Structure 1
Amino acid sequence: MNIYNAVTNGNSSDTVERLNAEPVNSAKIRQPLYESRRKIFPKRAEGRFRRFKWIVMLITLGIYYLTPWIRWDRGPYAPDQAVLIDIANRRFYFFFIEIWPQEFFYVAGLLVMAGFGLFLLTSAVGRAWCGYTCPQTVWVDLFLVVERFIEGDRNARMKLDAGEWTFDKIRKRVLKHSIWLLIGVLTGGAWIFYFADAPTLAMQFLTGEAAMVAYYTVATLTATTYVLGGLMREQVCTYMCPWPRIQGAMLDEHSLVVTYNDWRGERRSRHAKKAIATGEPVGDCVDCNACVAVCPMGIDIRDGQQMECITCALCIDACDSVMDKLSKPRGLIAYATLNEYEDNMALATDGDAHDIRPANVRNADGSFVNGIRHFNWRIIFRPRTVFYLTVWCLVGIVMLVTLATRERLSVNVLHDRNPQYVMESDGAIRNGYTVRLLNMIAQPRTITLSLNGLPNAVMKINGIADAPARSFSIEVKPDEVTNLRVFVTTPSGTAASTAEDFIFIAIDDEYSETAYYKAVFNGPGARK
């Protein structure tokens, strides 16, 4: 009976250390809905995916901690913080973009884009969000860096945890948890800086002059970061996060997921040379448990896809390093789709699942060569992902177009409800209005407010001018709403017997902007 990789090039699996690493979360034995946490001590991995995770961690943490300190000059009338959520003034600043409360649909659009982006990413490359960019994953990686630096790698941490409470153990634990708490404080501190001027708030916070809500927020985020990143870790992904359950609906047979190629790895053997000599079928897996030891979720990828797997691909790095030591091709554990796995499984077996035939391992189209995967763009561009990408792009384009063409001047008018009109002693009819001029740029402006319609009517604005007229120049403050009390009067004998429409026009000649509002003038015959 033949086997895949029957020739070991003189290398023995005995040269690879077998790690004592049993899966904490086993796919073969499903645990209750919730059970007490069993500690996982993931071994440090080395390889291309681990390096990629380092890069992602540095970028994401850098963005989070440094963004509030980036300055952006908007002139003397607006804050110079590049990203600022100004709750007091109901503004959101993002570099050159300013969002007002009535423009909240932009935030809704961003959420829609985030949702479809996540659907697209999951359909194409599985739970890559969970494995690389999820805040829980990023902060757990950061906490593990601290833990390894103080307590050592996997074996040293396991020995320390099982040992007695000596002075050295207490010292290491106190130091580790102190740094974890410091990271939590920095995390909460960075968060509050998004809601106020960062340098000012930092000084107020350190001197005890900040608002109490700032201290409460930092305390809450310190606690959650410390508990979720340090004490609960994989429990968050297994029990608290809904995405492991939702993502199952987003995956299909074309989605890339971390896969153990058992058509190549089985049957596992620690003594491949002896097995081959006796004619026994042996696969490439030497059962070293390296993939289990590095897994931050404590699973055995060889048991198949599992809810706990976050697709971090550290098991690929671990397995590739073992294959390198044995001079065997990489890819025993690799990113693969279900279709590719089933095709290779069908080609590698001939009626008997244990009859592995190397001649049938697919490589004619270049998709696989000795178990090493070559990227196929069809995985990305297929109907499902094209649909997600199309929706994502359409929402983004609509938002960009509306941002580029939106008016920065607006006028709103509210008619007095009681009374609807007032008849003066000379027979003239007067209507009262509250006019709101919205100047949505960080510069003072001169707005000309005038009437269009009601040919004989004039208006008077409280606090602007004593004499009535059909047009007034009004100074409006930067980035604010200016409220005006406006009275429109028609002379005696010219009042409409019923309601009559007219238009308030606001014009800014300097910025070439015009805003309109259609209003109603009520006369004696108007319906109340």
Structure 2
Amino acid sequence: MNTNSAVPPSSVEDLYAEADHWHVNTGGTTIHAKRMAGRWRTIKWAAASIWLIYFLGPYVRWDDRQAVLFDIPNRQYHLFGATVLPQDFWMLSLLLLFFAIMLAVVTALVGRVWCGFFCFQTVWTDVFTWIEEKLEGSPAQRRKLDQAPLDLTKVRIKATKHGLWILIGFMTGFSFVAWFADAPSLWGRFFLGQANSAAYITVALFTVGTYVLAGFLREQTCFWLCPYARIQGVMLDSTTIVPAYDVGRGEPRGRVKRGESTQNREAGDCVDCNQCVAVCPTGVDIRNGQQEGCITCALCIDACDQVMDKVGRPRGLIRYASLEEFEGRPPKALLLRPRVWVYTAIMTVALAGIFYGFSTLAAIDLKVLHERAPLYVRLSDGSIQNRYTLKILNKMPEDLAVRISASGLETFTLVGADEEIMAAPGGVSSTTVFIRVPRAALQGERQPVIFHAEATRPNGVQVTAERESVFIAPRP
């Protein structure tokens, strides 16, 4: 029995020889993957269940409105208790940067787990093929049905399958639109023909796209349409943990004969049952090494472990492992990898920026523009007057009556702020105010002055904002 760890190809010639055994389905045949229960299949379903948030999230309520609502017409984006306006969208750039770097980190550490466990294409395809299996049977039965002549039974089964696929596609599109409109009322408006054209077009595109991508293209989407499958190769290194076949333990392959003891076999542990290929959703043979089609879903591990149990051999012939492990080298500690430090630093900066942005979000925003021409005016009584334009941004979904005040000067008069300013939701309201300071009270050419904006929401909550400016006077 050969139990030594495999030594991966070390020369260019060996790499080319390995690549000759790679197989990429170009769409000539439909892959009907076999489903087998196991630990990784359970983890895969658990990871896929995260997408329930996509379907159920729009119906969560918060403070008498939709908890997460991207209100594009009113240019307001509600995230539970916070309201983000386009002026605060710099945080979106940091959020996208964070997820992009996190994807790179995860790929560098454990390969394409996003593709195998979380990607919407993988998840929707898995659901579609699950429906297909429930209606049409095992892979062999599905192939037989595809080749069978058209009759009422075949029409009934195929029509039911495609009807469910289209329904899932419709729910995918409708759920997407629901994030941008009030979800409960959208149902009535949509089916009564009262929704806007963008809603109907979006739902139609999502329905057709989901139906085609998950129902027909399947793994072809990963091969030819997804850029991540192309670039992920440069993110892997010898420390990356991916599903891999232990060549040294498994080769040479040989089937188990009836009555043969597996303990005395001269062949390797691989019995050449091809179950690892049968369960692969992209149809690759993991025994031929890492290749573009592998999405690291680990279903081949479940299949191989079950076969090893049946033939009385240890599990792990196919397992999550790194190149260093197969070469017998001790794995490098996580903290000793330079890219981990670089990625962590970028993610930390992005997260810090996002937390800072949300922590400084205010219900109203105040901007103060000092009049430049002239900088000041000398009045007939000798006092000095400065003019300011105040812009008030209301981030709340209701009208606010805003009161303006000022502080920072010992003796002054605020002119033009006697009446409250009505600020419309999501809009900017402007007003002009003057500050007058007696000549005797002036303490220099430039003195700081702080403007305050205060309002009371209908629920009684006080909201405030302030902005520092400057009062300019002539030289003494």
Task: Give the TM-score range, shorter chain.
Answer: 0.7 to 0.9
Please state whether the residue corresponding to 1:515 is helix, strand or coil: strand
Task: Measure the CA separation in 2 of the matches of 1:320 and 1:379.
Answer: 28
C-alpha displacement of 1:205 = 0.6
Which residue of 449, 465, 489 maps to 2:405? 449
- Answer yes or no: is the 8 Å Cα contact 2:363–2:463 preserved in 1: no
C-alpha displacement of 1:446 = 4.3
C-alpha displacement of 1:508 = 3.3
- The answer to whether residue 415 in structure 2 is matched with residue 459 in structure 1 is yes
Uncovered stretches (5+) of structure 1, i.e. residues with no partner: 6-25, 74-78, 345-366, 368-375, 462-471, 524-528
Which residue of 90, 95, 99 maps to 2:84? 99
CA deviation digits over 1:79-123, x for unaligned, max 9?
A: 611111011221211222221211112211211110121112111
Corresponding residue of 2:35: 44
TM-score (ref. length: structure 2): 0.82
CA deviation digits over 1:185-230, x for unaligned, max 9?
A: 0000000000011011111112111111111110011011111111
- The answer to whether residue 154 in structure 2 is matched with residue 199 in structure 1 is no
- The answer to whether residue 13 in structure 2 is matched with residue 67 in structure 1 is no
- Answer yes or no: is the 8 Å Cα contact 1:409–1:437 preserved in 2: yes
CA deviation digits over 1:5-61, x for unaligned, max 9?
A: 9xxxxxxxxxxxxxxxxxxxx9526689x954431111112110011112222x223
Corresponding residue of 2:10: none
CA deviation digits over 1:129-184, x for unaligned, max 9?
A: 11000111110111011111111111101111122223322222221111111100
Please state whether the residue corresponding to 2:214 is helix, strand or coil: helix
CA deviation digits over 1:483-518, x for unaligned, max 9?
A: 233254879999x9xx98874612439858451253
- Answer yes or no: is the 8 Å Cα contact 1:253–1:339 preserved in 2: yes
C-alpha displacement of 1:445 = 5.5
Task: Measure the CA separation in 2 of the matches of 1:458 and 1:380.
Answer: 59
TM-score (ref. length: structure 1): 0.75
Matches of residues 289-308 of structure 1 in structure 2 within 5 Å? 289-308=274-293
Task: Measure the CA separation in 2 of the matches of 1:446 and 1:487.
Answer: 14
C-alpha change, 1:377 and 1:50, in structure 2 (3 Å) is: farther
Task: Measure the CA separation in 2 of the matches of 1:302 and 1:228.
Answer: 28
Corresponding residue of 2:316: 331
Percent of residue pairs identical: 38
- Answer yes or no: is the 8 Å Cα contact 1:421–1:430 preserved in 2: yes
Corresponding residue of 1:28: 20
Task: Measure the CA separation in 1 of the matches of 2:372 and 2:216.
Answer: 60
Please state whether the residue corresponding to 2:179 is helix, strand or coil: helix
Corresponding residue of 2:205: 220
- Answer yes or no: is the 8 Å Cα contact 1:275–1:281 preserved in 2: no
Task: Measure the CA separation in 1 of the matches of 2:376 and 2:201.
Answer: 52
C-alpha change, 1:87 and 1:480, in structure 2 (3 Å) is: closer
Corresponding residue of 1:388: 343
Task: Measure the CA separation in 2 of the matches of 1:27 and 1:297.
Answer: 17
C-alpha change, 1:391 and 1:502, in structure 2 (3 Å) is: closer
Task: Measure the CA separation in 2 of the matches of 1:326 and 1:276.
Answer: 9
Uncovered stretches (5+) of structure 2, i.e. residues with no partner: 5-17, 456-460
Higher mean C-alpha deviation, range 296-305 or range 82-91? 82-91
Corresponding residue of 2:131: 146
Please state whether the residue corresponding to 2:313 is helix, strand or coil: coil
Please state whether the residue corresponding to 1:44 is helix, strand or coil: coil
- Answer yes or no: is the 8 Å Cα contact 1:432–1:485 preserved in 2: no
Letter in 2 for 1:228: L
Corresponding residue of 2:12: none
C-alpha change, 1:299 and 1:488, in structure 2 (3 Å) is: same
Please state whether the residue corresponding to 1:343 is helix, strand or coil: coil
Matches of residues 206-355 of structure 1 in structure 2 within 5 Å? 206-271=191-256, 281-343=266-328
Please state whether the residue corresponding to 1:286 is helix, strand or coil: coil
C-alpha displacement of 1:290 = 0.5
Task: Measure the CA separation in 2 of the matches of 1:181 and 1:285.
Answer: 41
Which residue of 440, 443, 451 maps to 1:505? 451
- Answer yes or no: is the 8 Å Cα contact 1:416–1:432 preserved in 2: yes
CA deviation digits over 1:385-426, x for unaligned, max 9?
A: 344234323432342244224444432245679999999999
RMSD: 3.8
- Answer yes or no: is the 8 Å Cα contact 2:239–2:332 preserved in 1: no
Letter in 1 for 2:283: G
Letter in 1 for 2:153: D
Please state whether the residue corresponding to 1:195 is helix, strand or coil: coil
Task: Measure the CA separation in 2 of the matches of 1:216 and 1:166.
Answer: 35
Task: Measure the CA separation in 1 of the matches of 2:75 and 2:447.
Answer: 33
C-alpha change, 1:267 and 1:446, in structure 2 (3 Å) is: same
- Answer yes or no: is the 8 Å Cα contact 2:76–2:395 preserved in 1: no
C-alpha change, 1:223 and 1:380, in structure 2 (3 Å) is: farther
- Answer yes or no: is the 8 Å Cα contact 2:94–2:353 preserved in 1: no
C-alpha change, 1:272 and 1:389, in structure 2 (3 Å) is: farther
C-alpha change, 1:280 and 1:67, in structure 2 (3 Å) is: closer
- Answer yes or no: is the 8 Å Cα contact 1:50–1:317 preserved in 2: yes
Please state whether the residue corresponding to 1:45 is helix, strand or coil: coil
Task: Measure the CA separation in 2 of the matches of 1:189 and 1:136.
Answer: 17
C-alpha displacement of 1:448 = 2.5
C-alpha change, 1:315 and 1:511, in structure 2 (3 Å) is: same
C-alpha displacement of 1:324 = 1.0
- The answer to whether residue 2 in structure 2 is matched with residue 3 in structure 1 is yes
C-alpha displacement of 1:378 = 3.9
C-alpha displacement of 1:276 = 8.6
- Answer yes or no: is the 8 Å Cα contact 2:82–2:361 preserved in 1: no
C-alpha displacement of 1:274 = 9.4
- Answer yes or no: is the 8 Å Cα contact 2:370–2:469 preserved in 1: no
Corresponding residue of 2:15: none
C-alpha displacement of 1:436 = 1.1
Higher mean C-alpha deviation, range 302-311 or range 117-126? 117-126
Task: Measure the CA separation in 2 of the matches of 1:121 and 1:255.
Answer: 9
C-alpha change, 1:418 and 1:160, in structure 2 (3 Å) is: farther
Matches of residues 505-524 of structure 1 in structure 2 within 5 Å? 505-508=451-454, 511=462, 513-518=464-469
CA deviation digits over 1:296-342, x for unaligned, max 9?
A: 00111111000110000111111111111111111111100000012
Task: Measure the CA separation in 2 of the matches of 1:124 and 1:245.
Answer: 17
Please state whether the residue corresponding to 1:144 is helix, strand or coil: helix
Letter in 2 for 1:483: S
